[in-house]
Amino acid sequence: MKNKLIIYLCLSFLLTGCAADKSESTSSSDLASTIQEVQSLPDAEINIPNALVGNEITEENAVLIPEAEEESEEPSSTSTYSISGEERTNIVNGLSQDVVDGINKILSNKEQYPNIVSITPNADCTEFTISVKDGTINIYESMLLMSFYTMGDKYQIYNGVPQEEAKTIVRYVNDSTGEVVVESDSTQMNTN
């Protein structure tokens, strides 16, 4: 429960919007073309950590597969869903749009994120590079890595990467020198 709260708090920081100042931001179309759009995913059973299950999963688009009865007193930290290929395609493409929208909101919010110059995801959302002015990172900017861990891992899992193999790297780089200031990955986030 504590981990879900941390994830939701980080997502709320990510999705906080303010007036746009897009002089330094990458355009939405550039970002959207960077992230791989999927055309047709097959039907699949997706095993996802409960902490990452969001509003993408509904009773209308996925069927929860019951767990086998076990002797364990603790509930499972993951759930398995049967999802049609069409719904998976919609979910993955919706997540890519969420990434683009989230990045644009961050770049336009100079009050909370004054040091962020650009944010560049790779095509499969396994890496996010955040360029910061002179390598300076404030507390709001440092917490973004949790949001990108969540977004990247969700994109990968719904796209077919087994949940235990999903890994999102977040790298903060100095915009002047290109030097990596901080780099970490989502395997350090406990989603149990």
Helices (H), 16-158: 28-34, 85-108, 139-158
pLDDT at 21 over 50: no
Q: pLDDT tens, 63-93? A: 999 877 666 667 778 999 999 999 999 999 9
On whether the CB atoms of residues 85 and 41 are closer than 8 A, the answer is yes
Q: Tell me the pLDDT band of 32, cut-offs 50, 70 and 90.
A: low
pLDDT in tens, 153-163: 999 999 999 99
Strands 180-185 and 169-174: antiparallel
Are the C-beta atoms of residues 47 and 80 closer than 8 Å to each other?
A: yes
Q: Exposed (0-12), middle (13-18) or buried (19+): which is 184, by Cβ within 10 Å?
A: middle
Q: What percent of the residues of the chain are helix, what percent strand, and what percent coil, each to the nearest 5?
A: 40, 20, 40
Q: Is 44 exposed, middle or buried (0-12, 13-18, 19+ CB in 10 A)?
A: middle
Which pLDDT does position 127 carry in this prediction? 96
Residue 172 has pLDDT above 50, yes or no: yes
Per-residue model confidence as pLDDT tens digits over 107-138: 999 999 999 999 999 999 999 999 999 989 99
* DSSP symbol at 4: H
pTM metric for this prediction: 0.80
